[in-house]
Amino acid sequence: MQRLRAALIGAGFIGPAHVEAVRRLGYVDVVALVGSDRERAEAKAAALHIPRAYSDLTAILADPDIDVIHNCTPNHLHFRINQQILAAGKHVISEKPLAVTTAEADQLARLAAEAGVVNAVCFNYRAYPLVQEMRARIARGDIGDVRLIHGGYLQDWLLYATDDNWRVDPAAGGASRAVADIGSHWVDTVEFVTGLPVTEVMADLGTFFAARRTEDCATVLLRFANGAKGSMTISQISPGRKNRLHFEVDGSQEAFAWDQEHPSDLWIGRRSEANGHLLRDPALLTDEARPFAHYPGGHNEGWPDGLKNLCAQVYAYIAAGKDPRRDPPPFPTFATGARIVRIVSAILASSRQGAWMPVDAAL
């Protein structure tokens, strides 16, 4: 497989995770890092053993040897930077949200389609082996008709009034915090698993620390395209919950439940026989899910592996010379990212109006 060269923009928490993920692929070299200022960029590049550091995009956008750019900057910068990457004709992997407004996100999806470059958004929970397993089993009809989808995403890192981060500032994080930050992952994952788009939302957002100006938590009712009902609870103020993305899909024959903090265990609910637990083991998985599991059963794979699996999908697609205009990508694209931004916008509008909000009306 040909070697590919990548550059990283943004070196906070998520940037080094991207570097580790692509290096694990074995055929990607991370050759440049762009930071907010030259001194910090050089220090971070040295710590990550990246040979070149810059304080602006110009050099990597013009470098013909750089194949892929990872955009790991704060939310408010995603639109402008993604736009520049597309204009330069580079392949791009962007952190979510794709942008902070539907207009910006829709524009990026359109520009990506016109540019014909490979584009991806990091909804990495799709790439867990048992998430892929659920999707495959639901698609083949194992659980029957999907009727109910429920769960949530709970964290505690903003529990105290003294907790702070750029994400709590609307100027940097956007109009939504908890929903855009982690609720977006939950919605994308359940849409992916079930194959069912959310059509309407009814939301109640809470801000327990008014100084933050964006929501700490949210409860949302959901309607899906096939008539299924759903609910999710999103919180970054739940004591003891570190990163609990969990959901259950109830069908007319069986149910599946999964918890990201216990990623190797898939619960299977049944009425007329004993419930089951499927442990992540390549030997037991469907053909669709098996490529996402890299170690034998009992050797846990978790969050870093999900991100690596997503990057593996993107880089394999690039290495194979595929074109998104004719070869449907198997990973979430800018079109996916724009759809999730629209759902987040519908949730915000629903909470403001106290009414059901169709997703397509959230402009």
User: Is residue 362 one of the residues assigned to a domain?
Assistant: no
In tens, the pLDDT along 186-244 reads 999 999 999 999 999 999 999 999 888 899 999 999 999 999 999 999 999 999 999 99
* Residue 183 domain boundaries: 127-301+342-353
Global pTM value: 0.96
Determine the 3-state secondary structure of 229 from DSSP: strand
What parts of the chain have a pLDDT lower than 70? 1, 361-363
Domain at 322, CATH number = 3.40.50.720
Q: How far, in Å, CA of 111 to CA of 52, rounded?
A: 29
CA distance readout (Å), 143 to 228, 270, 271, 287, 317: 13, 9, 12, 18, 31
Same domain? For 141 and 63 the reply is: no
Task: Quote the pLDDT of residue 363.
Answer: 42
Going by C-beta distance under 8 Å and a sequence separation of 6 or more, which residues neighbour residue 123? 96, 184, 185, 188, 189, 192, 310, 332, 336, 337, 340
User: Is residue 9 one of the residues assigned to a domain?
Assistant: yes
Same domain? For 212 and 255 the reply is: yes
In tens, the pLDDT along 74-113 reads 999 999 999 999 999 999 999 999 999 999 999 999 999 9
Domain at 133, CATH number = 3.30.360.10
Domain count, the chain: 2
Same domain? For 218 and 295 the reply is: yes
Same domain? For 75 and 147 the reply is: no
Task: Quote the pLDDT of residue 362.
Answer: 47
Task: Quote the pLDDT of residue 170.
Answer: 86
Same domain? For 117 and 8 the reply is: yes
